[in-house]
Chain A
């Protein structure tokens, strides 16, 4: 079947988005075609604003509107702690908990020679630069608990410890509300190794 060209182009562009397949793209395109012109204009504006206005924070590489992000600008945050994460999306996850009041630093990836990601590709130098500020007393490493994340944590710990700054890593183990009997053996094994005093 021949599809009108503008529609076909819209479908092709939409299907480039992550987790959008051909059928979903078609449904979205047809929906846009039917909806009020105002809605479409708002969407276009939102998308172009997103690209134009969002930058990386010059300090922590979080997403920001200004030169620095809201968290770095805030006077209420505890400037003595920096939590190191892989991607900005990890900040959202931690912020949702409302448990953490310190600052962040986004690495932009982890060490992985196989995918060509090395120290110079990550924001490691910038992190070390921030530590020259004597206010920082603790670094919390919150990288994913896989081989690459663990190795990057080891690397950072080695780099930071000589600066006389406490380095900690977030705990790993049984999910809250999870049943012990349903957790996999490796998780339970590590949780037992990393047990804490009561």
Chain B
């Protein structure tokens, strides 16, 4: 899948910008604060309806304007027009696909898969378990609708159940305990599915991670990913899940919190069997983050049969020449990518084959240069 055209209206610095893209690599070049990342932000909105850097929607609207609009034209076998309109007044986003309103964001997710490599990625390898769960959940969700829907249900169950636990703490009754059993059953049913899918994901993703890490660093280092959930000692996951919840019941009521389940799990990243979070160098972290994203790209491409678009925000600035070159070579295997960078000097070191495009951005004004 490729993004052919993009139109931004009242979107940060871009009062009205129309862009046409190459099917291959699109280098978006310009100084700081000129509106480079904004273009990636807009593409991300079209694919997910969410903000790339977790900014608030109203912050994206151009100063003194009331709403922003992003329009895009995707092409796979057929053309698909996606349009997203945000209004400050209602604080709501309205998304449409081929001029038909999309009622739920989850109906759009996965249709136009997107992979991002941004500054915030450092949190995946360095941050809290929640960041790693978010990464894994988003990769599986983009390739499986059922997983996404189960995850949404599961989060709803968590909220309901913790409210019920808090009700029980305040006012114990047999009837409430019976209700808790029903919610527990739902928690285990949906949670077990999530756990099984995550196990399967780690087993499959391992190879993708290994391959992309090798492309960048050679085969001196071998990366690993492992799912850390409650120890089931070869028992059936569902049964163990129930047993643990039974053991923790009093604790759960006392703290009015869901203490067991996939919402508390973690993923362990390793290099040559050593835990990355404890022993990894800055460079290893960075390489790992890049390998995760390239792995994600090829994983989704194989699972969905659709080539995602790749967004890379200012990645080359941080890398040494050797790795920048390796990544640049690796980019030839990718379909369409959008790469922001601050200075032209780096461009010379990079792969600039036929059909690639340089887009210069200067204070929201765009000009092109073909390679």
Residues on A facing B (Cβ under 8 Å): 111-114, 118-120, 147-148, 150-152, 154-155, 158-159, 184-186, 189
Inside 8 A of A152's CB, which chain B residues have their CB?
182
Contact of A151 among B146, B149, B163, B182 (CB under 8 A): B182
Decide: B159 and A114 in contact? CB cutoff 8 A: yes
Decide: B186 and A113 in contact? CB cutoff 8 A: no
Inside 8 A of A119's CB, which chain B residues have their CB?
175-176, 178-179
Decide: A155 and B164 in contact? CB cutoff 8 A: no
Inside 8 A of B185's CB, which chain A residues have their CB?
151, 154
Decide: A118 and B186 in contact? CB cutoff 8 A: no
Question: Does more than half of chain B's interface fall in helix, strand or loop, or is it mixed?
Answer: helix
Decide: B183 and A186 in contact? CB cutoff 8 A: no
Query: A154-B185, A186-B145, A186-B146 are known contacts. Are A113 and B164 too (CB-CB below 8 A)?
Result: yes
Decide: A147 and B146 in contact? CB cutoff 8 A: no
Decide: B182 and A147 in contact? CB cutoff 8 A: no
Question: Does more than half of chain A's interface fall in helix, strand or loop, or is it mixed?
Answer: helix
Top-6 shortest CB links A-B: A185-B145, A113-B163, A113-B164, A155-B182, A154-B182, A186-B149
Residues on B facing A (Cβ under 8 Å): 107, 144-146, 149-150, 153, 156-157, 159-161, 163-164, 167, 175-176, 178-179, 181-183, 185-186
Inside 8 A of B175's CB, which chain A residues have their CB?
118-120
Decide: A147 and B149 in contact? CB cutoff 8 A: no
Decide: A158 and B156 in contact? CB cutoff 8 A: no
**Would you give 26 A-B contacts (Cβ < 8 Å), ordered by A?**
A113-B160, A113-B164, A114-B160, A118-B176, A118-B179, A119-B175, A119-B176, A119-B178, A120-B175, A147-B153, A147-B160, A147-B186, A150-B186, A151-B160, A151-B182, A151-B183, A154-B182, A155-B179, A155-B181, A155-B182, A158-B178, A184-B107, A184-B145, A186-B146, A186-B150, A189-B146
A24→B178 CA distance, assembly (Å): 47
A112→B185 CA distance, assembly (Å): 15
Query: A155-B179, A155-B182, A158-B181 are known contacts. Are A148 and B160 too (CB-CB below 8 A)?
Result: yes
Inside 8 A of B179's CB, which chain A residues have their CB?
111, 113, 118-119, 155
Task: Name 15 extra pairs, CB < 8 A, besides A147-B186, A152-B182, A185-B146.
Answer: A113-B163, A113-B179, A114-B160, A118-B175, A119-B175, A119-B176, A147-B156, A151-B157, A151-B185, A151-B186, A154-B186, A155-B182, A158-B182, A186-B145, A186-B149
Contact of B167 among A113, A154, A185 (CB under 8 A): A113
A184→B92 CA distance, assembly (Å): 25
Chain A nearest CB, measured from B92 CB (Å): 16
A118→B166 CA distance, assembly (Å): 13
Chain A nearest CB, measured from B123 CB (Å): 29
A185→B107 CA distance, assembly (Å): 11
Chain A nearest CB, measured from B174 CB (Å): 10
Chain B nearest CB, measured from A15 CB (Å): 18
A120→B185 CA distance, assembly (Å): 21
A114→B160 CA distance, assembly (Å): 6
Chain B nearest CB, measured from A185 CB (Å): 4
Inside 8 A of B176's CB, which chain A residues have their CB?
118-119
Inside 8 A of A150's CB, which chain B residues have their CB?
186
Chain A nearest CB, measured from B39 CB (Å): 32
Inside 8 A of A158's CB, which chain B residues have their CB?
178, 181-182
